Amino acid sequence: MRVSSFVAVALLQASGFAFAAPSLESRGAKASRRPNHAVAPFHSGKAFPASSNRTKTCTVKSSGNGTDDSPAILKAIDDCNDGGHVVFGAGEKYTIGTALDLTHLKHIDLDIQGTLQFSNDTTYWQSHSFNQTFQNATTFFQLGGEDVNVYGGGTIDGNGQVWYDLYAANIYVLRPILFGTIGLKGGSISDLNLRYSPQWYNFVANSSDVVFSNITIAGGSVSKNPAKNTDGWDTYRSSNIVIQNSHIDNGDDCVSFKPNSTDIVVQNLVCNGSHGISVGSLGQYLGEVDNVKNVYVYNISMSNASDGARIKVWPGISSALSGDLQGGGGLGAVSNITYDTMVLDNVDYAIEITQCYGQKNITLCNEHPANLTISDITIKHFTGTTSDTYDPLIGYLVCSSEKVCSNIEIEDIQVLSPSGTNEFACGSIAGIEQEVNCTAVS
């Protein structure tokens, strides 16, 4: 499937999500109306399933004193599952001290108007968070099932500071991801504030037909220990996902497409402090096949970041990036990826394509080219300025062999370094010197 199969729409009405006014339960809780965010201007071309009306409402009352509210949360969800609307009241603060398996949800809305904060018991969470298998990822909770909507304008707080300090002392600590969308088939996550995640903010795994809209992400460290690996979104083994109209202040990938992410649209984001919109890393594990295809990224503001558009693939030989991140030699393909319109400010590389992720020895990478191919890439309409980190370079376009990199098209890149140059480091990409101002890789 080529990029042209993505359907541009001016006013697509949320692709089938029905708009319903939820009923109010007898105790007088004020339930929110389910938002109706249009998927626009781009769409994956695949329909989203309709979301049914909700016929009952349940309210979660917080303890108000820091006691674990998980039992009350589970009861309300069980009472309202399969056709209900669960309200977390405005102005209320809920403490979650128990790992919640919510993968059984069906036809339910979670209306988070207050604040949900996870407890700071790091010993408990290291033992009880849900293991998601990929890159040792764990989550505080896992939300999945069928036809689930989460919204309300409230806040989900990961209490991250204790984790930032703990990770500084031990890089092998398993830090939970704040929001785990695991095995969700149809639904939406919108109008939420995500704060202080210990690690990634969102992990979307084994899910399909999900729209994320109007999410704000923020929360750094107040100690000398930085908040590490705080990706905005990571998608994994998921398809027909839309991430749009959101503001992200973080310290790692703004959005990252992990193995077997397909038919994804990312649009209208403001990203600050990140590592860019990234494909990968891929090819990390021997014997595994990683495919990322049919991705459209549109209208991104990227500031104070390491990268704008980034594709990162491990070489064909095992290597180590750090003590807790190593690998290489995996199989697969990156294909039909488009980055369209990005405004850059103080970004180290406007564009980075590498098949030597995790290995600084270029000679070794060329001797062991990536087993994972990159093809049919379009990057266009970039404006702005880079930082002085790699001045006079504004980008890095280096594959490990022309045999595994093909049809990479780069056009209309109006980006300058502080020196006023627009040079790219180039290597092993056929015809790239006709598209950008190349200099030899040093």
User: What is the block-wise mean pLDDT of the chain (442 residues), using blocks of 10 residues?
Assistant: 36 32 44 96 95 97 95 98 98 98 98 98 98 94 98 98 98 97 98 98 98 98 97 98 98 97 98 98 93 98 98 88 79 98 98 90 85 97 98 96 96 98 96 95 72
Residue 377 belongs to what domain range? Answer: 3-440
Out of 43, 275, 368, 381, the active site residue is 275
Q: Which residues of 265-299 are buried (b: 16+ CB within 10 A; e: fewer)?
A: bbbbbbbbbbbbbbbbbbbbbeeeebbbbbbbbbb
The overall pTM is greater than 0.85: yes
**pLDDT of the residue at 324:** 66
**pLDDT of the residue at 45:** 92
The CATH number of the domain where 81 resides is what?
A: 2.160.20.10
Two tokens, residue 184 = 């969700």
The verdict on whether 107 is a catalytic residue reads no
Signed CA dihedral, 17, 18, 24, 29: sign only: positive
Burial of 24 (0-12, 13-18, 19+ CB in 10 A): middle
d(CA 274, CA 340): 18
d(CA 108, CA 34): 11
Beta strand residue intervals within 84-222, DSSP E: 84-88, 93-96, 100-112, 115-118, 130-131, 138-139, 141-151, 155-157, 176-177, 179-195, 202-205, 208-218
State how many domains the chain has. Answer: 1
